[in-house]
Amino acid sequence: MKDFNNIKNFIFDLDGSIYSLSLLPKVFGQVSKRMGEFISQKLNVDLKKAKELQTDYFHRYNTSLNGLMMHHDIEPKEFLKYVHNINLDFLKKDVVLREELLKLNAKKYIYTNGSVEHAEQIIKSLGIEDLFDNIFDIELANYVPKPSIDPFKRMIKKFNIDPKETVFIEDIAINLEPAKKLGMKTVWIENTEYWGKRNSDKNFIDLKIKNLSSFLKEINILKVA
């Protein structure tokens, strides 16, 4: 943990990382349903076929949107606006996380394969919307999703980040690989989800944690000590 003493930038994945993984099905259950509806309407196919395309494109291109743009010329902003129009009333203010984020003497960023609007809705629901320096979303990534290394480079340049002074925290293990290649410290939030745990045994992960707030608390204690 002492390796994290000189960290000046914390980059957090959004879904399943900034809030509890146990709540991810409630978020993505809604998003996935709306994806199917959107594909069905736009491509004039039934919901069964729409779901097949949604899943196939996700597996092949890391996001369903990526495949829809490649094969069907789907307008990404329209897609993102539709699929992220969800109910987040179940997300409650996280006072513990807020306290630990406030104590961090470092810049704080969100990096998501979703939209900035979706990220803003999430962090507002958690009561931490005022604590981040910036959000890097799929539009700023030129719609190239993680784990491609190119959007990481874009983010570093845009926010003038030194990777050697940066930690990236994610629940999907493979998304940590490009961060590690660029010189960042990498932290994986342990989980048993199929997509989350794949490649979690690789050496591009510096640290594995069970809880984000507890990890930040340890960082804050070390910096005071």
CB 216 within 8 A of CB 100: yes
Q: What is the reported pLDDT for 221?
A: 84
> Residue with structure tokens 């994986």?
188
pLDDT, tens only, 48-100: 999 999 999 999 998 999 999 999 999 999 999 999 999 999 999 999 999 99
Instruction: Using the structure block, give the residue that is written with the tokens 């010189």.
Output: 183
Q: So what's the pLDDT on residue 222?
A: 78
> Are the CB atoms for 162 and 184 separated by under 8 Å?
no
Q: In the CATH scheme, what is the homologous superfamily, with its name and number, of domain 2-19+91-224? A: HAD superfamily/HAD-like (3.40.50.1000)
Q: Which CATH number fits domain 25-83: 1.10.150.450, 1.10.8.60, 1.10.1060.10, 1.20.1440.230?
A: 1.10.150.450
Mean residue pLDDT across the chain: 95
- The domain segmentation of the chain, as residue ranges, is 2-19+91-224, 25-83
Q: Name the residue with higher pLDDT: 22 or 162.
A: 162
Q: How far apart are CA 184 and CA 195, in angstroms?
A: 22
Domains 2-19+91-224 and 25-83 agree in fold:
no
Q: Alpha helices, DSSP H only, in 73-204?
A: 76-83, 95-103, 116-126, 149-159, 177-181, 194-197
Structural contact between residues 206 and 185, judged by C-beta atoms closer than 8 angstroms: yes
pLDDT digits (tens, 9 = 90+) for 196-218: 999 999 999 999 999 999 999 99
Q: How confident is the model at residue 1 (pLDDT cuts 50, 70, 90)?
A: low
Over range 219-224, report the average pLDDT: 80
* Helix, strand and coil in the chain, % to nearest 5: 50, 10, 35
Helix (H) or strand (E) holding 222, with range, is helix 212-224
Task: Provide the pairing of β-strand 185-189 with 166-170.
Answer: parallel
CA-based nearest residue to 112, from 207, 200, 17, 4 = 17
Say if CB 10 and CB 108 are below 8 A apart.
yes
- Phi, psi dihedrals of residue 188, rounded to the nearest 5°: -105, 130
